[in-house]
Amino acid sequence: MLILSRREAECICLGDHIVVTVVAVSADKVRIGIQAPHGVRILRSELKQNTDLPVVAKVPAKPITNLAEFIRRAA
């Protein structure tokens, strides 16, 4: 497991098409935003037990070329 420290508005890139952004940090919560291609299923761990969920049609995503612009829009 990789463990990273991030501050608000900082990102983690997973491959070329997925970006995880720390949106807000409070005393007992961290809000994160996830940008991923349309066909990528993102589930909270408590929902992962139900694997019968439909998969949305896969749509090729463009790689993130301007990370600063993405962060500005997400904030």
With respect to residue 12, please indicate whether it lies within any of the assigned structural domains: yes
> What pLDDT digit, counting tens, does each position of 28-48 carry?
999 999 999 988 888 887 776
- The share of the chain scoring above pLDDT 90, in percent, equals 41
Measured distance CA(19)–CA(14) in Å, rounded: 6
Task: Tell me whether residue 46 is in a domain.
Answer: no
Domain membership flag for residue 31: yes
Q: Could you tell me if residue 22 is inside a domain?
A: yes
DSSP secondary structure, 2-70, as one string: ------TT-EEEETTTEEEEEEEE-SS-EEEEEE--TT-----GGGTT-TTPPPPPP--------HHHH
Residue 50 falls inside a structural domain:
no
10-residue mean pLDDT profile of the chain (75 residues): values are 91 92 92 91 76 56 63 61
Q: What is the CA radius of gyration of the chain?
A: 14
Q: Total structural domains in the chain? A: 1
CA-wise closest residue to 21 among 11, 6, 7: 11
Q: Which domain holds residue 14?
A: 1-38+65-75
Residue 48: inside a domain = no
